[in-house]
Amino acid sequence: MTKFFKHSSHLFSVFVILGVILIFAKEFVIRNHMNIDVVVLQGANAILYILSLITLNLQIKAMKNTNPNVFIRSVMGSMMIKMFIVVAVVFAYAMLSGNNFNKRGIFISLFFYLIYLAVEVYSLMKLNKQKNA
């Protein structure tokens, strides 16, 4: 479990950095009339952080297995889980928001998805390079 916390620290750092940026960006967005809903971005940041923690935990557990196919299945499965949940959340947001749907917020959230994906891959590659990982 300590390996999980050690390698999830990168994800936590991204979560905090994006959260702080969003707190300061709220005033900037309002002042410049950019039509970006910061609440959507904050929600996306939280959802992606939780999803990344779950999938990273699954992949770290799969890395311990002697069969390499287990790790590959874990990576593919976690990618599918993330995509389905993200699509479901965007669909639910589109249904619930009606005419207030914020496209810019969704596109920026997809950029957050790429950031979390890159950090998760970095953490796994770093763990895979270690002996007795």
**Burial category of 25 from C-beta neighbours within 10 Å (exposed 0-12, middle 13-18, buried 19 and up):** middle
pTM check: above 0.85: yes
pLDDT at 93: 94
Give me the residue spans of the domains in the chain.
2-129
pLDDT digits (tens, 9 = 90+) for 43-97: 999 999 999 999 998 888 888 888 888 888 998 999 899 999 999 999 999 999 9
Q: What's the farthest any 2 CA atoms get from each other in the chain?
A: 55
| Residue 129, CB-side half-sphere exposure with 13 Å CA sphere | 7
> What is the C-alpha R_g of the chain?
17
CA atoms of 110 and 13, how far apart (whole Å): 18
- pLDDT tens string 93-109: 999 998 899 999 999 99
Query: Does residue 128 have a pLDDT over 90?
Result: no
